[in-house]
């Protein structure tokens, strides 16, 4: 938004801005923030940054936890939710020194390094990413995990289960699994989504479209136009911030949790991607399969070969693997196909122009840290291109059929994504070298990531599940 501090100062004076808020990404993918009065934002802030305890962000050990973050003026945006006029901007983490040096575990710096590595290979000089964001908007959510009581309750006024509710019921409930593109008045979230999209557009996130999704109880989608990897990771965080706070201000609660409702479709993060070199598309070949070039197929081959390891970064929650099951529009089969939503990689038939030719990785979800997940996808694709990993020759397809309807003998030939977080973490431990190329990821970061996620998995495994009482209480 701003090229220098003078532009920021001028804007703040003209618009009576009182506070500067800094957004910082932690290891697992949550924004944290620190705020200063606008008068305290000086050239020193941009040179030496602001000190903080990085150990509380999940990165550095306690004995080396003092670090600084330096704000990125170009990432600045006005905050529509603060009562006190506020400008937000994202910061990068630096190790204290003379001069400070970029911290190699900072997710935003890793995303920068991934794009730089792509350019250094000569394969391409630009990756463009376009995600589809699925999420639920509920009217009520409560949960607890106590020794004597464990459970959760959610509600959405439009849900089919409220059809018999006598409390000011006007009908028009969305049928079970019947929400895809459903119209108003069933779609009672339409106006809120439009308001969210306008807030995004005003802050540089170009919206392709929005609509109601498959699940009846408040599942919706916003798809955005393409941008470069780090810029899209920034926009992913901004979108989640806007969605959550706009819903909260409307008296509702938004969640990107992959599988909050039993028996309904889950929330995915479908990531469309394609490469360019000197502004020319790398992925297009009129004579190739589905219009894709050999380079594109090699890129796909790399992603599919490393898909189990990618899952540890793109599906990093225990809840992720309650979504990645057959029958709920979530892909579990490691293969590719044209216009086939049951494959991990789908090539859209409607993208026919050379600069539109692309594919989408359908397995990810928004519990990921987007900087790490997008970077991992790119690194896997680069590995495929450098090593000419042909997906057809390696048994990844193409499968232009509904994979769930294949005979069992054929299904057994197709490898599946991990079925649990622990399985995905083991896959990452056994296959991480492709991430270290070009010094993009560090082995230490991956070790810290696995350690953190193992703790989460273990903590969840210790909690008695209410369904277990029905299965085992009487045995």
Domain locations in the chain?
5-103, 121-463
Helix, strand, coil percentages (3-state) for the chain, rounded to 5, are: 35, 25, 40
The confidence score (pLDDT) of residue 231 equals 98
Same fold, 5-103 and 121-463: no
How many percent of the chain have pLDDT more than 90? 86
Q: How confident is the model at residue 294 (pLDDT cuts 50, 70, 90)?
A: very high
Task: Check pLDDT > 60 for residue 237.
Answer: yes
Q: Can 444 be counted among the known catalytic residues?
A: no
Set 100, 176, 341, 454: catalytic member: 341
> The CATH number of 5-103 is which of 3.10.20.70, 3.40.50.2020, 3.10.580.10, 3.90.1170.50?
3.10.20.70
Set 139, 187, 360, 383: catalytic member: 360
The confidence score (pLDDT) of residue 351 equals 87
Set 132, 264, 329, 383: catalytic member: 132
Q: How confident is the model at residue 452 (pLDDT cuts 50, 70, 90)?
A: very high
Q: What is the mean pLDDT of residues 388-398?
A: 93
Task: Check pLDDT > 80 for residue 377.
Answer: yes
User: Using CA atoms, how far apart are residues 391 and 335, in angstroms rounded to an integer?
Assistant: 8
**DSSP line for 289-357:** GGGB-HHHHHHHHHHHHTHHHHHHHHS-STTHHHHSSTTSS---EEEEEES-TTEEEEE-TT--STTT-
Q: Can 213 be counted among the known catalytic residues?
A: yes
Q: Can 341 be counted among the known catalytic residues?
A: yes
Q: Can 270 be counted among the known catalytic residues?
A: yes
Task: Check pLDDT > 90 for residue 236.
Answer: yes
Task: Check pLDDT > 70 for residue 444.
Answer: yes
CA 18 remoteness from chain centre: 32
Q: What is the mean pLDDT of residues 15-21?
A: 97
31-40, 57-66, 297-306: least confidently modelled range: 57-66
Rg (the chain; Cα; Å): 23
pLDDT in tens, 310-362: 999 999 999 999 999 876 667 888 999 886 767 899 999 888 899 999 999 99
Q: What is the mean pLDDT of residues 364-385?
A: 98
Q: What is the mean pLDDT of residues 181-204?
A: 97
Q: What is the mean pLDDT of residues 387-414?
A: 84
The confidence score (pLDDT) of residue 27 equals 95
Residues comprising the chain, all counted: 475
Q: Give the H/E segment covering residue 227.
A: strand 227-228
Q: Can 360 be counted among the known catalytic residues?
A: yes
Give the residue from 400, 139, 427 showing the smallest Cα distance to 306: 427
Q: Which residue has the tokens 């919206």?
A: 207
Q: Can 456 be counted among the known catalytic residues?
A: no
pLDDT in tens, 243-288: 999 999 999 999 999 999 999 999 999 999 999 999 999 999 999 9
The confidence score (pLDDT) of residue 312 equals 98
User: Using CA atoms, how far apart are residues 396 and 347, in angstroms rounded to an integer?
Assistant: 14
Give the residue from 20, 214, 189, 249 showing the smallest Cα distance to 132: 214
Q: What's the chain's average pLDDT?
A: 94
**DSSP line for 92-112:** EEEE-SSS-EE-TT-HHHHHH
Q: Which residue has the tokens 């399969």?
A: 289
Task: Check pLDDT > 90 for residue 68.
Answer: yes
Q: Which CATH class is domain 121-463?
A: alpha beta
Q: Can 451 be counted among the known catalytic residues?
A: no
Three-state DSSP class for residue 210:
strand
The confidence score (pLDDT) of residue 112 equals 97
The confidence score (pLDDT) of residue 220 equals 98
Q: How confident is the model at residue 63 (pLDDT cuts 50, 70, 90)?
A: low
Give the burial class of 43: count Cβ atoms within 10 A of its Cβ; 0-12 exposed, 13-18 middle, 19 or more buried: exposed
Q: Can 221 be counted among the known catalytic residues?
A: yes
Q: What is the mean pLDDT of residues 214-221?
A: 96
């Amino acid at each position: 938004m701003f090229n220098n501090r003078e532009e920021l100062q001028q804007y703040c004076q003209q618009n009576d801005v009182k506070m500067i808020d800094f957004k910082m990404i932690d290891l697992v993918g949550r924004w944290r923030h620190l705020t200063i009065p606008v008068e305290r934002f000086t050239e020193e802030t941009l040179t030496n940054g602001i000190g903080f305890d990085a150990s509380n962000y999940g990165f550095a050990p306690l004995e080396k936890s003092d670090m600084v973050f330096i704000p990125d003026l170009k990432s600045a945006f006005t905050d529509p939710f603060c009562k006190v006029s506020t400008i937000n901007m994202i910061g990068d983490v630096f190790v204290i020194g003379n001069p400070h040096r970029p911290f190699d575990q900072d997710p935003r710096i890793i995303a920068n390094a991934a794009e730089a590595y792509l350019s250094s290979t000569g394969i391409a000089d630009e990756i463009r990413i376009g995600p589809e964001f699925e999420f639920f908007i509920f009217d009520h959510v409560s949960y607890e995990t106590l020794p004597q009581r464990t459970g959760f309750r959610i509600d959405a006024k439009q849900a089919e289960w409220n059809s018999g509710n006598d409390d000011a019921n006007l009908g028009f409930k969305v049928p079970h699994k019947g929400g895809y593109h459903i119209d108003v008045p069933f779609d009672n979230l339409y106006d809120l989504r439009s308001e969210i999209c306008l807030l995004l557009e005003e802050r540089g996130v170009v919206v392709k479209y929005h609509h109601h999704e498959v699940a009846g109880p408040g599942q919706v989608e916003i798809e955005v136009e393409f941008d470069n990897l780090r810029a899209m990771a920034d926009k992913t965080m901004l979108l989640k911030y806007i969605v959550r706070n706009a819903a909260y201000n409307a008296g509702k609660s938004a969640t990107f949790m992959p599988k909050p409702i039993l028996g309904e479709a889950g929330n995915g993060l479908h990531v469309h991607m394609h490469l360019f070199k000197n502004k020319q598309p790398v992925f297009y070949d009129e004579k190739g399969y589905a219009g894709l070039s050999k380079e594109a197929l090699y890129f796909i081959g790399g992603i599919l070969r490393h898909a189990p390891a990618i899952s540890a970064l793109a599906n990093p929650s225990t809840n992720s693997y309650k979504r990645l099951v057959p029958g709920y529009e979530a892909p579990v089969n490691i293969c590719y196909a044209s216009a086939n939503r049951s494959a991990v990689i789908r090539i859209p038939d409607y993208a026919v122009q050379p600069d539109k030719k692309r594919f989408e990785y359908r397995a990810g979800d928004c519990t990921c840290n987007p900087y790490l997940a997008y970077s991992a996808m790119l690194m896997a694709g680069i590995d495929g291109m450098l090593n000419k990993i042909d997906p057809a020759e390696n048994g990844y397809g193409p499968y232009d059929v509904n994979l769930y309807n294949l005979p069992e003998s054929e299904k057994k030939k197709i490898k599946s994504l991990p079925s649990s977080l622990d399985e995905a973490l083991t896959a990452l431990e056994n296959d991480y070298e492709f991430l270290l190329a070009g010094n993009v990821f560090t082995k230490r970061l991956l070790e810290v990531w696995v350690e953190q996620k193992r703790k989460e998995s273990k903590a969840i495994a210790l909690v008695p599940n209410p369904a277990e009482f029905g299965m085992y209480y009487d045995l």
